Amino acid sequence: MPARSRRTFALLASFALVLGLTTAVGLATSAGAAPTLISQGKSVTASSTENAGTPASAAVDGNTGTRWSSAFSDPQWIQIDLGATATLSQVTLTWEAAYATAYQVQVAASGSGPWTTIYSTTTGTGGVQNLTVSGSGRYVRMNGTARATPYGYSLWEFQVYGEFTTPSCGSGNAALNRPATASSTENAGTPASAAVDGNTGTRWSSAFSDPQWLQVDLGSTQTVCQVVLAWEAAYATAYQVQVAASGSGPWTTIYSTTTGTGGTQTLTVNGSGRYIRVNGTARATAYGYSLWEFTVRTTGSTSSPSSSPSPSPTNGSFWGDTSTIP
C-alpha cells in the first residue's frame, strides 16, 4: 500500500474509533439517566368517568389494555396523588383514540389547588406523548380543555416520572423479624413469619384462592421508600402494596399492578404507616401466593436485626404440600 494510502487509512480508522467511543459514551450516559416512574398504582381521581368499566385508576395500573375515559364534555381532568412532594422530569400520556387537542399538565401541593401549569398545548396529536417537564408538587393532573372527537378524554396510561423530595432511602430491612400475619397459610411449614426472617430458603405460602394478603407490623410509623418482593414460583399477577396506621386499616395503596411477572421485584414506593401488606388479587398459577422474602426499606434505615443464613431457593420449584392442588 502506498504511503499516502496508509496515512489516509490510519486517519480514517482513528476517526472511526473516536466516533464509536463517543457514541458508546453517549448511549451509556442516556441509559444511566433513565427517569423513575413514580405514579403507578397511586391514588387517582377524575372529574368524571364514561362508565364503571373506565375508572380513573385504570390510567395508573401499568396495563395498556385498560383505560380511563371521561364524560363527553369539556373541560375534564384526571388527577394523581403521588403521596408526597416530588420533583417531576417527564410525563407520558398514552391516549386512546379519544384524545385532547388542548390540555395542560399541572401540579399542586393540595388536591384542590392552586394549580401551576408545567406543560400546555392547543395542538395535541394523540398517540403516545412524552413530555419533558419541570416542576414539583404532590398532585399532578391532566386538565383537558378541548377534545379531538365527539367522545370524552381517554387515557390508557398517565405516567409521571421524577424523584421524591424526601430523605434518601435507607439500606436496612424494616420488616426483618417483625410480627407478620396473613390471611391464610398453605400449611404449618409455610408461616407468615418465614417471609420476614431474612432466610431465602424459607417461605410463606397461602391457601389456593383469591384474594390473600401478608401483613407486617413495623412497630412504629415509618416512611416506606422501597419494597422488595422475592416471589416463589407461585406469584401474583395482580396485587397491591398498602400501608395503614392500624392493622385493620383503612389501607392506602402505594403500589399496584395487574401485570406482575414474579421473580424478585424491587418497587420504588412512597407512603407512611405502621403496617404494610401485600394484597394479592390474582394468582399466576393454580397454587396460592408464596414469598421467600418481603423486604421493606424506609427513609433513614441503615441496619437490620441479625437474621438466619440464606440458602438460595431453586427457581421454579414448589415446596410444600401439593396434594390438594385442583
Q: According to the model, what pLDDT value does residue 31 have? A: 45
- Give domain status of residue 322, yes or no: no
Q: Are 70 and 50 in contact (CB under 8 A)?
A: yes
Contacts of 32 (CB under 8 A, 6+ apart): none
Q: Please choose, from the candidates 240, 241, 237, 231, the residue with its C-alpha nearest in 3D space to the C-alpha of residue 296.
A: 241
Q: According to the model, what pLDDT value does residue 106 have? A: 98
Extract long-range pairs of 253-257: CB within 8 Å, 24+ residues apart.
253/41, 253/42, 253/43, 254/41, 254/42, 254/83, 254/224, 255/40, 255/41, 255/227, 256/40, 256/41, 256/57, 256/60, 256/61, 256/62, 257/40, 257/41, 257/61, 257/62, 257/63
Q: Is the whole model's pTM more than 0.95, yes or no?
A: no
Residue with cell 364524560: 71
Q: In sequence order, what DSSP letters do the residues of 137-154 get, joined into one string?
A: EEEEEEEEEEESSSS--E
- Give domain status of residue 305, yes or no: no
Q: Please choose, from the candidates 82, 74, 67, 83, the residue with its C-alpha nearest in 3D space to the C-alpha of residue 47.
A: 74
- Give domain status of residue 109, yes or no: yes
- Give domain status of residue 243, yes or no: yes
- Are both 190 and 136 inside the same structural domain? no
- Are both 58 and 158 inside the same structural domain? yes
Q: Provide the domain limits for residue 129.
A: 43-164
Q: According to the model, what pLDDT value does residue 16 have? A: 45
- Give domain status of residue 303, yes or no: no
- Are both 242 and 271 inside the same structural domain? yes
Q: Please choose, from the candidates 88, 102, 95, 165, the residue with its C-alpha nearest in 3D space to the C-alpha of residue 133.
A: 88
Q: According to the model, what pLDDT value does residue 4 have? A: 46
Question: How far is 242 from 225, CA to CA, in rounded Å?
Answer: 12
Q: According to the model, what pLDDT value does residue 169 have? A: 87
- Are both 133 and 217 inside the same structural domain? no
Q: What is the CATH number of the domain that holds 136?
A: 2.60.120.260
- Give domain status of residue 21, yes or no: no
Contacts of 149 (CB under 8 A, 6+ apart): 97, 98, 99
What's the total number of domains in the chain?
A: 2
Cell of 188: 404449618
- Are both 160 and 184 inside the same structural domain? no
- Are both 215 and 158 inside the same structural domain? no
DSSP state of 37: B
Q: What is the mean pLDDT of each run of 10 residues along the chain (326 residues)?
A: 46 43 40 79 96 97 97 98 93 98 97 96 98 96 99 98 82 97 98 98 98 98 96 98 96 94 95 97 98 94 48 42 39
Residues in the chain: 326
Q: Are 243 and 13 in contact (CB under 8 A)?
A: no
Q: According to the model, what pLDDT value does residue 25 have? A: 38
- Are both 133 and 204 inside the same structural domain? no
- Are both 249 and 205 inside the same structural domain? yes
- Give domain status of residue 85, yes or no: yes
Q: Are 320 and 186 in contact (CB under 8 A)?
A: yes
Helix, coil or strand: residue 315: coil
The number of beta carbons lying within 10 Å of the beta carbon of residue 179 is: 15
- Are both 55 and 160 inside the same structural domain? yes
Q: According to the model, what pLDDT value does residue 316 have? A: 42
- Give domain status of residue 192, yes or no: yes
